[in-house]
Structure 1
Amino acid sequence: MARSGAHVIVVGNEKGGSGKSTTAFHLAIYLLHAGYRVASVDVDSRQQTLTHYLRNRRAYAQERGLTLPNPQHFHLPSAWGDSVRENDRAEFDVFRRAIGEVENRADFVIIDTPGFDTNLTRLAHSLADTLVTPVNDSLIDLNVLARVDAQSGQPIETSHYAKLVQRARSERLSVTGESVDWVLVRNRISMLGSRNARQVQVTLDAIATRFGCRVADGIAERVIFRSLFASGLTVFDPLDGDMGAEGSSVSHLAARQEYRNLVAALNLPITQTSGQAAAEALRLSA
C-alpha cells in the first residue's frame, strides 16, 4: 500500500480493556485543538468503541448547541464472505480507499484496532508511523507481549501480538526503509505505589529492550473517564457542571496533564507554533 502524506498513529493491543479507544480519541482531539487536520479510522467491527465515542460527542454538542472539533471519521466493517482470500481483498480495498481519501488532506490519521487479530488489524499496523500500545498496569496484561520468567521478570518467549508487530515493522522497513516507532504506554496506573507497579516497570523495560521499542508513562485510573465516554468529551474540552466535581477540577486537570505528557513522549511531528497555540487554547479552557 502506498504511504500516505499524513503521519499515521495506530493504537493497538490484542488485550481488551487496555484503553485503546480512549487513548486514540484523546490523541485525535488534542491534535485538533492544536490546529491539525485529523482523520480517525475504527477497524473494530465488533465493539466500534471509537465510533460510538464520536457519535456520543456529536449528539452531546447538538443537544447543547456547542461547536466541538471532530476528526473526519471512518468505520471499516469486516468482510463476512465464504472465501478468506476474497474477504481479505475486499477489506484491503475499503481500507485503501479510506486512507486514500485523507492521505493528502489530513496531517494525522489515527487508527483504533480491536483486541484480537484480524486482517484489518494487520493492515493498520503495516501502515503505522507511530504505534501506541496501551498496557494496563498489571503483570497479567504483559502476557500479550511476552511470556515472562516469574523469578527474573525477563521476557523468555515472544507472544502473538509482539510477533504481529515484528512482522509489520519488518514489512514496513523492507518497503519504505523506515521503521515503526513502537511505544508501550503504561495505562490505568494505580495512584498508590506498590511492589507490583515497580515490577511492571522493570518488566516493561526489559520487554522494550528486547523488542526495540520505548516505554512511556500513561494515564492513571480515574473516575472521570467513565463520565466522558457518555458525552463524547475529552479532558481537552472545557467541561461543564454535568460532569460533576470530579469532572471539572483536580482529576480533570491532572488527566489533561498526563495526556499532554504522553503526546510529548510520542515525539510526533508537531510544530512549535501549533504547540504554543494549543497550550494557550487549553490554558484558556482550564
Structure 2
Amino acid sequence: MSQASVIVIGNEKGGAGKSTLAIHIAVALLHGGAKVAVLDLDLRQQTMGHFFANRRAWLAANGAQAPMPVEHDFAADGVALAKAPDEEALPRFHAALAELRGVADFVLIDTPGSDTAMSRAAHGVADLIVTPMNDSFVDFDMLGVVDPVTLELTRHSLYSETVWNSRKARATNERKQIDWVVLRNRLAPTEARNRKRLDERVAALSRKVGFRIGPGLRDRVIYRELFPFGLTIADLSPSIRPVAMSLQHVAARQELRALMTALGFSGLDEGERIAAE
C-alpha cells in the first residue's frame, strides 16, 4: 500500500471554516503537482463534494483546465450512511481510505462538526491534523476550558482529548507521530484586548497538549466569491478569471502561501512541486 500522507481537517464545532480550509489546501497541493485524493465525511452537508462538482462543471462550461483531485463516491447515499450503525460505516470508511491511499500522494479528509465514529477513525490514521478556530472564546471552548472569573486555562476539552488519544494510540501501535496544527482562522482585521487574552490561552494550551499554532485564512470576500465556481485564489490566472482582479486577491494568495508554509509544505505556484518538508 502506498504511504500517502493523510491530512485531516477537523474539530467538533461547526462554522469554524473546516471546509474552506480543506478545499484551499487540496487545491494548493494540486497546483504544486501533487496527486491529491479527497474524502468528505460530512455526509449531510457535503460542502467539499459540492465544491469539486462546481469546479468540474465550471471548467467544462468554460473550456478551461485546472487540476482535479481523485474523488471517492463515498457519499452517493450520504444521508443513509450518516444514519448507519458504526459496524457498517467504519468498514466503508477504511475501504475508501485504502483505495485512495493507493492512488495519491495526499489523502485529504474533511470531517463533520460533530463526534462520529468515522471522524474518530480518521483522526486515528492522520499524519497531520489541521484544526481551525475562529478568533473567539466560543471556538476556544472546543479546545480548552477557562475559569469564568480569571479566564485562566483550567483543562483541555473533549476534542483535545480525542486528538490526544489518537496521537497516543498511533505512537504506541505504529511508533509514528501525528502532527497537530491549530489555525487561527477568520481573524478580525484590527487588534483587540480579547485577542490578546485568547492568544495567551491558546499558547498555554499548545504547551499542555502539544499542538503547533499557525495562521489561517481571513474572512475575505474573494474566498466566498469563488466558491460557486469551484475555484480558489490559487486557480486564478489569465485563462481563469471569473471575477475582476484586485490587490486584495494578491494579499489572499500570499495568505494561502503562508498557511501552506505553516503546515509544512512549500511551493504554491503552478509548476512547483509541493512536498512535505
- TM-score using structure 1 length: 0.87
Q: 1:226: how far off?
A: 1.4
Separation in structure 1 between the aligned mates of residue 108 and residue 182 of structure 2, nearest angstrom: 16
Q: Does 2:246 align with 1:249?
A: yes
Amino acid in structure 2 at the alignment position of 1:193: E
- TM-score using structure 2 length: 0.90
Q: Does 2:264 align with 1:267?
A: yes
The aligned runs of 1:14-93 (5 Å cut-off) are 14-74=12-72, 75-76=74-75, 77=78, 78-81=81-84, 87-93=85-91
Asked if 1 retains the 8 angstrom alpha-carbon contact of 2:31 and 2:270, the reply is no
Separation in structure 2 between the aligned mates of residue 124 and residue 241 of structure 1, nearest angstrom: 35
| Identity percentage of aligned residues | 41
The aligned runs of 1:174-213 (5 Å cut-off) are 174-213=172-211
- Runs of 4 or more, structure 1, over 3 Å off, are 150-154, 239-242, 278-282
- Structure 2: which 5+ runs fail to align? 273-277
- Structure 1: which 5+ runs fail to align? 82-86
Q: CA-to-partner distance for each residue in 1:1-36, whole Å, 9 max, x for gaps?
A: xx8510110000111111111111111111111111
Amino acid in structure 2 at the alignment position of 1:263: M
Q: CA-to-partner distance for each residue in 1:183-227, whole Å, 9 max, x for gaps?
A: 000000111111122222111111111111110011112111111
1:279 maps to which of 256, 260, 269: 269
Separation in structure 2 between the aligned mates of residue 79 and residue 14 of structure 1, nearest angstrom: 16
Q: CA-to-partner distance for each residue in 1:237-259, whole Å, 9 max, x for gaps?
A: 01655324xxx222221111111
Separation in structure 2 between the aligned mates of residue 195 and residue 187 of structure 1, nearest angstrom: 17
Separation in structure 1 between the aligned mates of residue 177 and residue 131 of structure 2, nearest angstrom: 16
The alpha-carbon distance between structure 1 residues 151 and 216, as it changes in their structure 2 partners (threshold 3 A), is farther
Asked if 1 retains the 8 angstrom alpha-carbon contact of 2:89 and 2:118, the reply is yes
Asked if 2 retains the 8 angstrom alpha-carbon contact of 1:154 and 1:206, the reply is no
Q: CA-to-partner distance for each residue in 1:94-114, whole Å, 9 max, x for gaps?
A: 111111112232111100000
Q: 1:144: how far off?
A: 0.6
Q: 1:135: how far off?
A: 0.4
Count of residues paired in the alignment? 265
Separation in structure 2 between the aligned mates of residue 35 and residue 42 of structure 1, nearest angstrom: 22
- SS of the equivalent of 1:94 reads helix
Q: 1:151: how far off?
A: 5.2
The alpha-carbon distance between structure 1 residues 143 and 197, as it changes in their structure 2 partners (threshold 3 A), is same
- SS of the equivalent of 1:8 reads strand
Partner of 1:84: none
Asked if 2 retains the 8 angstrom alpha-carbon contact of 1:11 and 1:110, the reply is yes
Asked if 2 retains the 8 angstrom alpha-carbon contact of 1:153 and 1:202, the reply is no
Separation in structure 1 between the aligned mates of residue 92 and residue 193 of structure 2, nearest angstrom: 46
Amino acid in structure 2 at the alignment position of 1:251: Q
